Amino acid sequence: MTANTETVTDDLLPAELLAFLPCDTPQRWIEAALENPALLLIDHAQCEKKAASTAMSLMFRYVDRPELLTKMSQLAREELLHFEQVVGLMQERGIDYSHIPASRYAEGLREHVAREEPQRLIDILIVGAFIEARSCERFARLIPHLDEPLARFYRSLVRSEGRHFEDYLGLAERYAGKAFVAERVARFAAHEQALIQSEDAMFRFHSGVPALTE
């Protein structure tokens, strides 16, 4: 990626989001995404569906948090709309929607979530912020290389995923304070960076560096 492309890409991303993520997406992942457009969209669809499911799960578990209920209700609706839009794009491109194993990314972050409340909720919200922020960053990194219909769609997702990142992080700070959240974010950032920069056995939307094949 050229310096000029990096500048254009970064202009799409909120400064807070860029500062939040511990590293950029590796170039090898971008190359793998462009080499596997069908797999990219299939896993993207699964990610949108999972994001809606996660938001709904939080709504059922934390019924005493009105701010969370409102934010997660809005987020779930948006994620399901995105799911429908990705499936529509797949149909237009002749891509069959089939089940594929999930990447290690989300589960790798959730391994470090506290078991006891109220810290468990804070950690879950922080993990949600990382997932949304990384999604946003990857959409932006891909946009300069995509055909116009897909690039236009991903530009719209950069805006919405950026809001979702802000919602998750804002809720965590509301419930635990900025100082405590900053400490937990720093811990999760180290794990997130390791997942993103280390070699991964398979390519997925949130995978690390795809292993080179002979």
Quickly list DSSP for 148-191. Answer: HHHHHHHHHHHHHHHHHHHHHHHHHHHHH-HHHHHHHHHHHHHH
Averaged pLDDT, 18-31: 96
- Which three-class secondary structure state does DSSP give residue 7? helix
* Res 28: pLDDT: 96
* Res 1: pLDDT: 37
* Res 214: pLDDT: 37
* Res 211: pLDDT: 85
What pTM was computed for the model? 0.94
* Res 10: pLDDT: 66
- Which three-class secondary structure state does DSSP give residue 62? coil
* Res 88: pLDDT: 97
Q: How many CB atoms lie within 10 A of CB 115?
A: 7
**pLDDT classification of 11: cutoffs 50, 70, 90:** confident
Check whether 3 has a pLDDT greater than 60.
no
Quickly list DSSP for 98-156. Answer: ---PPPSHHHHHHTTS-SSTTHHHHHHHHHHHHHHHHHHHHHHHHGGGS-HHHHHHHHH
Please provide the average confidence, as pLDDT, over all residues in the chain: 93
Averaged pLDDT, 42-56: 97
Query: pLDDT tens digits for 200-211?
Result: 999 999 999 988
Averaged pLDDT, 126-147: 97
Check whether 136 has a pLDDT greater than 60.
yes
Check whether 2 has a pLDDT greater than 60.
no
d(CA 209, CA 25): 9
Domain 28-96+114-207 coded CATH 1.10.3720.10: no
Counting every residue, how long is the chain? Answer: 214
Q: How many CB atoms lie within 10 A of CB 171?
A: 25
d(CA 67, CA 171): 8
Averaged pLDDT, 72-82: 97
Averaged pLDDT, 151-168: 94
* Res 148: pLDDT: 96
Check whether 56 has a pLDDT greater than 80.
yes
Domain edges within the chain: 28-96+114-207
* Res 9: pLDDT: 62
